Amino acid sequence: MTASAAVVAITSVPYNALEWLIEHWSDELREIGAELGIEMLEYTFMHHAFLVGALIAVMAPLIGTFLVHRQLALIGDALAHTAFAGVAVGLFVNATFGTGISPYITAVVVAMIAALAIELISEVTDAYNDVSMAIVLSTGFALGAVLISFNTGGLAVGINQYLFGNLATVSRENVIILVVLFVVVTLVVLLTYKQLLYVTFDETAARVAGLRVPWYNRVMAMLTAMVVVGAMQIMGVILVAAMLVVPVAGAAQFARSFREALLASVILAQIAVLVGITLSYQYETTAGGTIVLVAVAIYIGAVLVGKVQSHQVTAEETRSIPDEEPAD
Amino acid sequence: MTQPQSNVRRDRADHIVDVKDVSFGYTASPVVEDISFTVERGEYVGMIGPNGSGKSTLLRLILGLHEPDEGQVELLGHPARAFAEREKVGYVAQDVTENTKRMPITVAEVVLMGRFPHAGFGRVTSDDRDRARQALRTVGIDHLADRKITQLSGGQRQRAYIARALASEAELLVLDEPTVGVDAESVDAFFDLLTDLNDDGMTILLVEHDIGAVLEHTSRVICLNRELYFDGDPVAFADSDALDRAYGTNVRRDDGVVVS
CB-CB neighbors (< 8 A) of B183 in chain A: 323-327
E strands, chain B, are 15-24, 32-40, 44-48, 70-75, 78-79, 89-92, 172-176, 203-207, 220-225, 227-232
CB-CB neighbors (< 8 A) of B113 in chain A: 194, 197-198, 201, 205, 209
Q: Domain extents for chain B?
A: 6-247
- Is A176 a domain residue? yes
State how far the Cα of A261 lies from the Cα of A25, in Å rounded to an integer.
Answer: 29
- What pLDDT was estimated at residue B256? 43
Q: Per DSSP, what are the bridge partners of residue B40?
A: B15
- What pLDDT was estimated at residue A323? 42
- The number of distinct structural domains making up chain A is 1
> Residue B9 above 60 pLDDT?
no
Nearest to B104 among A202, A252, A317 (CB): A252
| CATH, domain B6-247, list 3.90.1150.10, 3.30.70.120, 3.90.226.10, 3.40.50.300 | 3.40.50.300
- Cα dist. A150→A92, A95, A164, B162 in Å? 8, 10, 21, 60
State how far the Cα of B214 lies from the Cα of B218, in Å rounded to an integer.
Answer: 5
Most A-contacting residue of B113, B118, B121, B185 (CB-CB within 10 A), to test interface: B113
Characterize the bridge pairing of strands B89-92 and B220-225: unpaired
What CATH number has the domain bearing residue A34?
1.10.3470.10
Mean pLDDT over A11-34 rounds to 86
- Encoded amino acid at A111, one letter: A
- Is A136 a domain residue? yes
In chain A, what is the straight-line distance between the N-terminal and C-terminal CA atoms, in Å? 67
CB contact under 8 A, B168 and A209: yes
Q: Per DSSP, what are the bridge partners of residue B174?
A: B91, B205
Identify whether the C-beta of residue A65 lies closer than 8 Å to the C-beta of residue A183: no
Tens digit of each residue's pLDDT (9 = 90 or more) over A214-272: 999 999 999 999 999 999 988 988 899 999 999 999 999 999 999 999 999 999 999 99
- Is A328 a domain residue? no
Nearest to B104 among A205, A209, A257 (CB): A257
State how far the Cα of B183 lies from the Cα of B100, in Å rounded to an integer.
Answer: 21
Residue B36 touches partner A, C-beta closer than 8 Å: no
Percent of the residues in chain A that have a pLDDT greater than 90, as a whole number? 48
Mean pLDDT over B76-92 rounds to 90
Q: Which of A181, A155, A164 is nearest to A237 (CA)?
A: A164
pLDDT band at B217 (very low <50, low <70, confident <90, very high): very high
- What pLDDT was estimated at residue A9? 61
- Is A321 a domain residue? no
Tens digit of each residue's pLDDT (9 = 90 or more) over A38-63: 888 888 889 999 999 999 999 999 99
State how far the Cα of A284 lies from the Cα of A274, in Å rounded to an integer.
Answer: 15
> Residue A74 above 90 pLDDT?
no
Nearest to A328 among B91, B102, B159 (CB): B159
Q: Per DSSP, what are the bridge partners of residue A268?
A: none
Identify whether the C-beta of residue B19 lies closer than 8 Å to the C-beta of residue B35: yes
Query: Lowest mean pLDDT: which of A56-65, A144-153, A267-276?
Result: A144-153
- Is A24 a domain residue? yes
Q: Could you tell me which residues of chain A have a Cβ less than 8 Å from any Cβ in chain B? A: 69, 191-192, 194-195, 197-198, 200-202, 204-205, 207-211, 251-252, 255-261, 313, 317, 319-320, 322-328
CB contact under 8 A, B87 and A209: yes
Looking at beta carbons, which pairs linking A118-126 to residues 24 or more positions away fall under 8 Å?
A: A118/A75, A118/A78, A118/A79, A118/A221, A119/A214, A119/A217, A119/A218, A119/A221, A122/A217, A123/A214, A123/A217
Characterize the bridge pairing of strands B44-48 and B220-225: parallel
Domain range for A196 is 2-313
Mean pLDDT over B182-211 rounds to 91
State how far the Cα of B60 lies from the Cα of A208, in Å rounded to an integer.
Answer: 9
Report how many Cβ contacts below 8 Å link chain A to chain B: 117
CB-CB neighbors (< 8 A) of B181 in chain A: 322
pLDDT band at A137 (very low <50, low <70, confident <90, very high): confident
State how far the Cα of A276 lies from the Cα of A287, in Å rounded to an integer.
Answer: 7
CB-CB neighbors (< 8 A) of A257 in chain B: 104-106, 108-109, 146, 148
CB-CB neighbors (< 8 A) of B168 in chain A: 209
Please list, residue by residue across B56-76, b when 16 or more beta carbons sit within 10 angstroms of its beta carbon and e when fewer do: bbbbbbbbbbbebeebebbbb
- Encoded amino acid at B201, one letter: G
- Is A112 a domain residue? yes
